[in-house]
Every structure is written in structure tokens, then in C-alpha cells.
Amino acid sequence: MATDIIYTIKAPSPGGHYVQALKHEGLLYISGQLSFPPEGPTSLNDNFTEQAAQAFENVGAVLNEAGLDFSHILQLRAYIVGIENWPAFDQVCAQYLQEYKPARAVVPVPTLHYGCMVELEAVARVISTK
């Protein structure tokens, strides 16, 4: 089965040796999406909740480009700066995922690239076209 690269201008362009996402054998692997808008890190907001929402917007844009939505996520991994931000992250996560609950890990970290406070990566199931 072929591996397809997924790319959208509605999420930040990769800044290194990686792609936004790869579709392979029924799964979509979404690379870490930081919490700045597609225009780049110079537009970074300092509010944790708004950064978390932006990271979800970026993941949503990649999912959409692949013809999917948040309900297709099987596993979500979040890196957040500051364990004290966990409750705020959980609230934003619930807003985007609604009633759907994927397997999830939240990893508190001391810092992220560009001063971001949130990074999300995900694995989603691809809709069968059969």
C-alpha cells in the first residue's frame, strides 16, 4: 500500500525534516502541531487556552485535508508547558472532541519550540472508500 503525504496551507508549514502528516495502511499519522497559526510563530498568542485552541485548529486542518475530523482520532498526545495548565487543556480538548474520547496522553514539559505552550500529535483512522 502506498504512503501519501498530507499537506495543507491551513496549518503551519513544516519547519524541519518532516511532513504535516502521512497516510499509510488505513492510518493517518499527524506530526506535532505547535500552537501558532499558519502564518508562523511571529503571530504566537501568550494565552494558554488560546494556544491550545490553535493547536487543535492546526490538527483539525490536517484532518480535514485528509477528509477526516476529530472523531477519527485514535490516539492524541499533547505536550503542554506547565502541569498547572492541565485543567485548561482538558477543557479545550473537550470543546474540540465533544463527546468523543480517543486514547490520550498529556505530557507536561518545561519548554517547547518558539515559546509555544502546546504541541499536539495524533494518529487517526482513515475512512474506507470501499
- Supply 113's cell numbers: 519550540
The answer, yes or no, to whether residue 76 has pLDDT greater than 90, is: yes
In tens, the pLDDT along 53-65 reads: 999 999 999 999 9
- The phi and psi torsions of 114 (rounded to 5 degrees) equal 65, 10
In tens, the pLDDT along 93-113 reads: 999 999 999 999 999 999 999
Average pLDDT of the segment spanning 3-32? 96
Average pLDDT of the segment spanning 59-76? 98
- Supply 107's cell numbers: 505530557
Strand partners, 124: 28, 73
Second-level CATH architecture of 3-125: 2-Layer Sandwich (3.30)
The owner of cell 491551513 is 10
Give the model's pLDDT for residue 130.
44
- In this prediction the pTM is 0.95
Give the model's pLDDT for residue 129.
52
Cα distance from N-terminal residue to C-terminal residue, the chain: 15
Q: Are 18 and 24 in contact (CB under 8 A)?
A: no
Give the model's pLDDT for residue 44.
82
Q: Higher model confidence: residue 112 or residue 43?
A: 112
Lowest average pLDDT, out of 71-80, 94-103, 119-128, goes to 119-128
